[in-house]
């Protein structure tokens, strides 16, 4: 009976409080003991939640309740900047936020939902007697890995810093590169359970306000319980969510994000994900890398042409091989046809079955190399490809020609700068294989027309997906298939929809000489 007496007394107190204030379950009223029991019955039942009573001179003999989460709150900050000053102060609780508590971010809350959410996020709560608000002190400590080199977008030249999973660090990395007071961040919290912070970054006066408003509206329209990461956010706010072609680019490189911010695009940061999102993004944006803007223009142009040739190999080479050997052999030169048919004479499968078999083998080797530890993945991938390729030819399952075709195709896919687009082109390649085995070259032509039509109908935040090819924008071709010298590029790409299109007003030596001659003639 003695053990239940305090609980019954506390229950009577809550009943009396609810009779006097019906909204006491949603709003905090000055009842520190009731707040303690409420926390203890809910979040405070976990062993990592610390509930500590301290005696403050201003409220003797009553005590003040301090609530924090061990590991998420900085214990040194709680002890030195909160508890130590409170043990000495004689000022009332109303002035603690201005004169007693020393951490930078301090605010008060009255709603229980916000109070509990603040505690779960790692803040420290202060409950004072006869004070109808709760002080919320930012004592959050971040467990984060150091900012290292990019893992998926490696470059030979240029900066080598990548984002990590902590949003505050991500914002600091952007501010460190762009020392402009017009760099703005707008935060939205997503997830009714997970409460993940999502920040939209943009450069005021450069980014189009309509683009920023559209991005914010789409983010605010998301209603999910949790599991928030950059991939899910991109899938929920992108145009054409069912398309296999991505319309929002993701990157882990800080320099690439800054380059797009300066061009007038928006960058979406997701807390807990080292990849940020860039919008809008046309198809050409997925083939622009940070190294394209760190190398000389002729080297960049040559590499981009190589990427374009690799794209042709990856999409059309296997399909054309199947069409020419299985459906349209009359179009193959006689010498080449004799060699190809001679190798196929004793094989049990058609060229199409051989191609499908080899594609599946390559995909299995690729998946195995991704899942294995790095120490052995490279060896397994290389040795596995050689052993399997040699074995299937000697066993008489496939011809040597199909080994060459599929090997070149697989290498071509690895030339795609953005990983998420690699899967798209593998699906297109597979579809091309099936169509070419039925309709031959005519099927490849029809599939190409259909693919171009689909891409022309797509857009990303109002920007045509095939720009600057369709619609034709000649000014953007200076940074499209090739990249011209910097002296000839004076404006940002029109796909960024920037309010400040001109970024380079530097005069060349020739222009300066011509201007000086003109001035001399006038004088």
Residue 503 placed within a domain: no
Confidence class for position 1, pLDDT limits 50, 70, 90 = very low
67 lies in the same domain as 184: no
pLDDT of residue 95: 87
pLDDT of residue 238: 93
pLDDT greater than 60 at residue 2: no
45 lies in the same domain as 71: yes
Q: What residue has token string 């030819």? A: 393
0.85 surpassed by pTM: no
Integer Cα distance of 329 and 325 in angstroms: 5
Question: Three-class SS string for 58-116?
Answer: HHCCCEEEEEEEECCECHHHHHHHHHHHHCCCCCCHHHHHHHCCCCCCEEEECEHHHHH
pLDDT greater than 80 at residue 389: no
Query: Residue range 10-25: average pLDDT?
Result: 58
- For the stretch 310-343, pLDDT in tens is 999 889 999 998 888 888 888 777 777 776 666 6
Query: Residue range 501-515: average pLDDT?
Result: 65
Residue 144 placed within a domain: no
The last residue of one of the domains, among 235, 268, 293, is 293
Among the residue ranges 12-16, 59-63, 380-384, 487-491, the one predicted with the least confidence is: 12-16
Sign of the four-CA dihedral 467, 470, 474, 477? positive
102 lies in the same domain as 221: no
Indicate the number of domains in the chain. Answer: 3
Query: Residue range 372-390: average pLDDT?
Result: 65
Residue 349 placed within a domain: yes
Confidence class for position 180, pLDDT limits 50, 70, 90 = confident
pLDDT greater than 90 at residue 257: yes
pLDDT greater than 50 at residue 234: yes
- For the stretch 93-150, pLDDT in tens is 888 888 888 777 888 998 888 888 888 888 999 999 888 899 999 988 877 777 778 8
pLDDT greater than 50 at residue 491: yes
Residue 358 placed within a domain: yes
Residue 481 placed within a domain: no
279 lies in the same domain as 319: no
174 lies in the same domain as 120: no
pLDDT greater than 90 at residue 217: yes
CA terminus-to-terminus distance, the chain: 108
Integer Cα distance of 184 and 167 in angstroms: 14
- For the stretch 476-489, pLDDT in tens is 888 888 888 888 88
Residue 169: both structure tokens together: 């660090």
Confidence class for position 346, pLDDT limits 50, 70, 90 = low
Q: Looking at per-residue confidence, does 48 or 104 come out higher? A: 48
Whole-number mean pLDDT of the chain?
Answer: 84
Query: Residue range 410-438: average pLDDT?
Result: 88
267 lies in the same domain as 369: no
Q: Looking at per-residue confidence, does 219 or 408 come out higher? A: 219
Residue 218 placed within a domain: yes
Domain of residue 207: give its range.
167-293
349 lies in the same domain as 228: no
241 lies in the same domain as 183: yes
Confidence class for position 19, pLDDT limits 50, 70, 90 = low
Q: Looking at per-residue confidence, does 475 or 124 come out higher? A: 124
Query: Residue range 150-177: average pLDDT?
Result: 86
Among the residue ranges 238-242, 256-260, 511-515, the one predicted with the least confidence is: 511-515
Torsion of CA 39, 45, 50, 56, to 10 degrees: 40
Residue 9 placed within a domain: yes
351 lies in the same domain as 457: yes
239 lies in the same domain as 312: no
Residue 351 placed within a domain: yes
Cβ–Cβ < 8 Å for 187, 270: no
271 lies in the same domain as 305: no
The last residue of one of the domains, among 93, 118, 137, is 137
The last residue of one of the domains, among 271, 293, 315, is 293
267 lies in the same domain as 309: no
Query: Residue range 286-298: average pLDDT?
Result: 88
């Amino acid at each position: 009976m003695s053990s239940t007496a305090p609980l019954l007394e506390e229950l009577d107190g809550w009943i009396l409080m609810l009779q006097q204030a019906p909204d006491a379950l949603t709003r905090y009223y000055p009842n520190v003991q009731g707040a303690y029991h409420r926390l203890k019955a809910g979040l405070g039942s976990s062993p990592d939640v610390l509930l500590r009573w301290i005696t403050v001179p201003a409220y003797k003999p009553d005590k003040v309740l301090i609530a924090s989460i061990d590991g998420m709150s900085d214990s040194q900050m709680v002890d030195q900047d909160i508890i130590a000053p409170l043990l000495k102060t004689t000022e009332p609780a109303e002035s603690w936020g201005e004169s007693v508590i020393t951490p930078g971010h301090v605010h008060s809350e009255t709603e229980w939902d916000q109070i509990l959410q603040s505690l779960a996020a790692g803040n420290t709560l202060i409950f004072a007697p006869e004070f109808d608000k709760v002080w919320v002190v930012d004592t959050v400590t971040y467990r984060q890995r150091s900012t290292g080199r990019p893992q998926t977008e490696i470059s030979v030249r240029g900066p080598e810093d990548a984002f990590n999973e902590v949003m505050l660090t991500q914002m600091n990395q952007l501010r460190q590169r762009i020392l402009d007071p017009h760099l703005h961040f707008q935060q939205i919290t997503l997830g009714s359970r997970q409460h993940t912070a999502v920040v939209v970054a943009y450069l005021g006066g450069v980014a189009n306000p309509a683009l920023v408003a559209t991005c914010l509206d789409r983010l605010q329209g998301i209603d999910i319980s949790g599991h928030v990461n950059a991939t899910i956010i991109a899938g929920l706010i992108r145009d054409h969510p069912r398309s296999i072609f991505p319309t929002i680019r993701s990157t882990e490189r800080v320099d690439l994000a800054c380059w797009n911010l300066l061009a007038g695009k928006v960058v979406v940061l997701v807390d807990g994900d080292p990849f940020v999102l860039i919008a809008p993004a046309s198809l050409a944006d997925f083939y622009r890398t940070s190294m394209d803007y760190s190398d000389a223009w002729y080297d960049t142009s040559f590499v981009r042409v190589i990427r374009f040739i690799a794209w042709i190999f990856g999409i059309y080479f296997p399909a054309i091989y199947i069409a020419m050997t299985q459906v349209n052999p009359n179009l193959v030169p006689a010498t080449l046809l004799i060699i190809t048919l001679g190798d196929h004479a004793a094989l049990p499968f058609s060229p199409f079955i051989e191609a499908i078999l080899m594609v599946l083998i390559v995909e299995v080797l690729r998946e195995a190399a991704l899942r294995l530890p790095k120490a052995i993945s490279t060896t397994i991938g290389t040795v596995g490809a050689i052993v399997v390729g040699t074995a299937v030819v000697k066993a008489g399952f496939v011809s040597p020609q199909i080994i060459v075709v599929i090997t070149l195709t697989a290498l071509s896919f690895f030339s795609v700068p953005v990983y998420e687009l690699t899967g798209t082109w593998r699906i297109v390649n597979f579809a091309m294989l099936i169509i070419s085995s039925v309709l031959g070259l005519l099927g490849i032509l029809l599939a190409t027309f259909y693919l171009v039509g689909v891409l022309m109908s797509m857009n990303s935040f109002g920007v045509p997906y095939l720009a600057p090819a369709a619609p034709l924008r000649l000014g953007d071709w200076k940074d499209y298939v090739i990249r011209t010298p910097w002296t000839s590029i004076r404006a940002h790409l029109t796909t960024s929809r920037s309010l400040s299109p001109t970024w380079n007003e530097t005069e060349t030596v020739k222009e300066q000489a011509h201007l000086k001659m003109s001035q001399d003639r006038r004088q």
